[in-house]
Structure 1
Amino acid sequence: MIRVCFQLQVAPDRIDEYRRRHAAVWPEMLREIEASGRRNYSLFLREDGLLIGYYETESVERSDAYLASSEVAARWEAEMSEFFVGDGRPDRTAVPLDEVFHLEDQLSEIAPLQEGNGA
């Protein structure tokens, strides 16, 4: 499973409305996200509008291609674009973040070492 984290900037004067819109995402958009192969999808929003998104998928390319061809996703992203600083569809302008630490990965690396030492 590939873990994906990204950042966007919500316009400070649009934060309250952005929160309202995401409290009840269109059911058809929820189904499209799920059909794209994204799992464990979350958005986190700071008071100044910094938005961090996270999801897991088997293939970023397949997930992106599925949503890029989705009429529902195109309508949703067009409506959401007014909330963000910058130009373009937010799903295509998000800044990906590099993962520098994952607990389970590191634990799995040390477990065989501990077992070999009789621990």
Structure 2
Amino acid sequence: MTRVCFRLQVDPDRLDEYRRRHTAVWPEMLRELEACGRRNYSLFLGADGLLIGYYETDSAQDSAEYLAASRVAARWEAHMADLFIDVDDRADRAATALDEVFHLDDQLADIRGTGGIAAPDEAAPRNGGGA
């Protein structure tokens, strides 16, 4: 399984419209997202228009190729394009992929697999953070 995270920039003057369009994504688009193998797909929108997307898939390349060939996805992307900054027609092609630098489950599996648990003075600060 691959975890994919990306960012885009929504026009700050169009945030309400972006939210509105996502309250009722077309059923056929939802089915295409499912058919392309994306799971646990979420979008997070900041007050400045920063959009972070996350999904899990067995193959990011196969998923992207499926959507690139999908008429439904092309229509959806055209429907959404005017809400983004620096996007001509397909936001999915303009998205910037982000590198994963930490995953709790992976690191917990590593320490459990080796039996090593960090000593308290080596552990992360206990201020509720970790990011």
User: Percent identity over the alignment?
Assistant: 68
CA–CA separation in structure 1 for the residues paired with 2:51 and 2:112: 35
**1:87 shift after superposition:** 2.8
The code of the aligned residue for 2:114 comes to L
**1:113 shift after superposition:** 2.3
Corresponding residue number in structure 2 for 1:79: 79
Q: Which has the higher helix share?
A: 1
Q: TM-score, normalised by structure 1?
A: 0.94
Corresponding residue number in structure 2 for 1:45: 45
The code of the aligned residue for 1:55 comes to Y
**1:112 shift after superposition:** 2.2
CA–CA separation in structure 2 for the residues paired with 1:10 and 1:51: 7
RMSD of the alignment, in Å? 0.9
Deviation per CA, 1:73-99: give whole Å up to 9, x if none: 000000111000003310000000000
Corresponding residue number in structure 2 for 1:110: 111
The code of the aligned residue for 1:98 comes to D
Q: Can you give the 5+ residue segments of structure 2 that lack an aligned partner in the other structure?
A: 117-131
CA–CA separation in structure 2 for the residues paired with 1:30 and 1:97: 23
CA–CA separation in structure 1 for the residues paired with 2:60 and 2:30: 17
Corresponding residue number in structure 1 for 2:128: none
**Does the residue aligned with 1:87 lie in a helix, a strand or coil?**
coil
**Does the residue aligned with 1:5 lie in a helix, a strand or coil?**
strand
Structure number with higher relative contact order (C-alpha < 8 Å, ≥ 6 residues apart): 1
Give the count of matched residue pairs.
115
Corresponding residue number in structure 1 for 2:65: 65
Q: Can you give the 5+ residue segments of structure 1 that lack an aligned partner in the other structure?
A: none
